[in-house]
């Protein structure tokens, strides 16, 4: 018989892992609390560093997982460990006997309104990176009204102990620079400012993106965290930061402020984690067996982790992580359920 693998979370990690595991010959069940698969990727317009369209990426990923049993609008009701496997009851009434569980619960974006001084949800022209992506795909947003001066605030809810997150969210810098360029394309004669603490352009081609932003789009990078935002009589924003290079406080009037909300652990994930009794680290993301050699294994037998459930990751990293998790699961199941191994061998030869 085929082994059942339950994948919790229908984002890129879950999708990729389900595709891989299905190829390996497992009976994969994918559940997603939302009404559609794709997670944050489905809400994004284009991806850094070279601006490929997110929907294209997602649809090709979905194509790879065709045939996988996936349930949307579904959550885990209860989950308890039997001798080798987990008995999971889903909110849609179905119960699954899972030989392995992959937790790909992803992240939630930091709630920008928590940084009160930025006035998200209070000032008319303050939006988040996600709002801007939505604007790019839908093409309209009442808060974006032919801005002449646009500001991007990096590290909103990242590297900020006041906001309860000491860690770097890894993707915001590149996203901000990407979005800055896109805004310049949309509004060529707008001034665009990026307020950063450190520009972490670590990945391949990221530095090129940075150079392009400066050279071709004339984006102005200011090293200093925005500390105070207020609204002028005309509804424009007065933004205060320090230009740490000239160690002087600065003030600038902006028509649009984009907050680069960081990655926080997903609440839904935490809920399932609690059901399983899984431990989280100080940063709120799930603990792994070993941060170097087995990043995809949870301390619990048969429970695996993939993607941003174990901390901020870029999309390629997430996909690679999901593949890694698939291999781990395969190894685990081969060891734990030897009798099924020849069947799987057959499937593999066939494929």
Partner 1 sequence: MVDFGYGISPSSRLDLDKFDRKTFDLLVAEEPDVKKCIACGSCTAVCAAGKFVPTSLRSAILAIQNGLPDKALELLKPCQLCGKCTLVCPREINTRHLILSIIKIYSAK
Partner 2 sequence: MIYEGKQKVWSDYQKDIPDDHYFYVRSCIRQSFFPASEVTFLDITRNRLGKDIFETEHHTTCGGIAYHSDTIPQETVMTIIARQFALMAKNGYENYVCSCITSFGLYCETMETWREFPEEEARIKDILWKTCKLDFAKPKYLIHASDLVYKYRNLIAAQAKHKLINVKTGKPLKVVEHIGCHYSKMFPSKGVGGAEYPYVLVGMIEAWGGEIVDYPERRHCCGFGFRQYFIKGNRGYSLSNTYKKFESMEPFHPDLIITNCPGCPYFMDRWQYVIAESTGRTYGEEGHGIPVLTYEEVAGLVMGYDPWDLGLQTHQIDSEPLLDKMGIEYDPAQKYAGKNGKDIGSPICPTCLK
DSSP H or E segment with residue 109: strand 107-109
Which tokens in the block code for residue 193?
Answer: 């400012």
Residue given tokens 């001084």 in the structure block: 117
Residue with tokens 């609390």, as numbered in its chain: 33
Site size for partner 2 (CB under 8 A): 16
Q: By CB under 8 A, is residue 212 in contact with partner 1? A: no
Q: Which does 233 bind (CB under 5 to 8 A by kind): partner 2, partner 1, none?
A: partner 2
Element housing 156 (H / E) = strand 149-156
Least gap, CB of 48 to partner 2 (angstroms): 30
**Selected range binding partner 2 among 63-71, 115-123, 202-210, 275-283, rule: CB under 8 A:** 115-123
223 binds, among partner 2, partner 1, none (CB under 5 to 8 A by kind): partner 1
Q: Per DSSP, what are the bridge partners of residue 305?
A: 103
Rule CB under 8 A: say whether 233 interacts with partner 2: yes
**Contact in structure between 106 and 11 (CB atoms under 8 Å):** yes
Only segment of 48-56, 116-124, 175-183, 295-303 that touches partner 2 (CB under 8 A):
116-124
Is position 78 an interface residue for partner 1 (rule: CB under 8 A)? no
Residue of 51, 56, 121, 301 interacting with partner 2 (CB under 8 A): 121
Does the footprint of partner 1 cover residue 36 (CB under 8 A)? Answer: no
Q: What are phi and psi of 178, to 5 degrees?
A: -60, -50
For residue 270, which of 279, 262, 282 has the smallest C-alpha distance?
279
Q: Which is nearer to partner 1, 66 or 247 (CB)?
A: 247
Q: CB–CB of 197/155 below 8 Å? A: yes
The Cα 285–Cα 265 span in angstroms is: 5
Size of the site for partner 1 (CB under 8 A): 18
Q: Name the segment binding partner 2 (CB under 8 A); options: 14-22, 112-120, 205-213, 342-350.
A: 112-120
* 218 lies in the site for partner 2, by CB under 8 A: no
Token representation of residue 125: 């022209």
- The CA distance from 174 to 154, in Å, is 10
Please compute Rg for the chain using Cα positions.
Answer: 22
User: Which chain residues interact with partner 2 by CB under 8 A?
Assistant: 113, 116-117, 119-124, 228, 230-233, 235, 238
User: Which chain residues interact with partner 1 by CB under 8 A?
Assistant: 191, 193, 211, 214-215, 218, 220-221, 223, 243, 245-246, 248-253
């Amino acid at each position: 018989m085929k082994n059942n693998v339950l994948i919790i979370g229908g984002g890129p990690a879950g999708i990729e892992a389900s595709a891989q595991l299905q190829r390996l010959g497992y009976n994969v069940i994918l559940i997603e609390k939302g009404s559609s698969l794709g997670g944050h990727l489905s809400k994004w317009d284009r991806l850094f560093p070279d601006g490929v369209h997110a929907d294209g990426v997602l649809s090709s990923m979905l194509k790879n997982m065709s045939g996988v049993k996936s349930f949307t609008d579904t959550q885990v009701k209860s989950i308890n460990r039997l001798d080798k496997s987990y008995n999971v009851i889903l909110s849609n009434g179905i119960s699954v006997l899972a030989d392995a569980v992959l937790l790909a619960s992803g992240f939630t974006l930091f709630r920008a309104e928590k940084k009160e001084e930025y006035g998200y949800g209070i000032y008319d022209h303050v939006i988040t990176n996600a709002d801007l992506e939505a604007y790019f795909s839908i093409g309209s947003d009442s808060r974006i009204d032919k801005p002449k001066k646009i500001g991007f605030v990096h590290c909103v809810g990242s590297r900020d102990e006041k906001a309860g997150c000491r860690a770097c969210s890894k993707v915001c810098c590149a996203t901000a620079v990407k979005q800055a360029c896109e805004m310049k394309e949309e509004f060529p004669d707008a001034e665009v400012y990026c307020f950063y603490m450190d520009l972490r352009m670590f990945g391949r081609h990221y530095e090129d993106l940075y150079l392009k932003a400066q050279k071709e789009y004339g984006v102005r990078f200011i090293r200093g965290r925005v500390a105070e935002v207020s609204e002028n009589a005309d509804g424009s924003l007065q933004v205060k930061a320090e230009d740490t290079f000239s160690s002087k406080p600065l003030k600038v009037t902006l028509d649009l402020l984009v907050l680069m909300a960081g990655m926080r652990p997903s609440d839904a994930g935490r809920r399932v984690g609690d059901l399983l009794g899984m431990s989280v680290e100080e940063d709120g993301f799930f603990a792994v067996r070993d941060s170097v050699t087995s990043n995809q294994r949870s301390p619990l037998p048969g429970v695996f982790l993939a993607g941003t459930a174990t901390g901020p990751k870029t999309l390629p990293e997430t996909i690679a992580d999901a593949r890694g998790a698939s291999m781990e699961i395969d190894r685990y199941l081969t060891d734990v359920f030897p009798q099924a191994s020849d069947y799987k061998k057959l499937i593999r030869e066939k494929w």
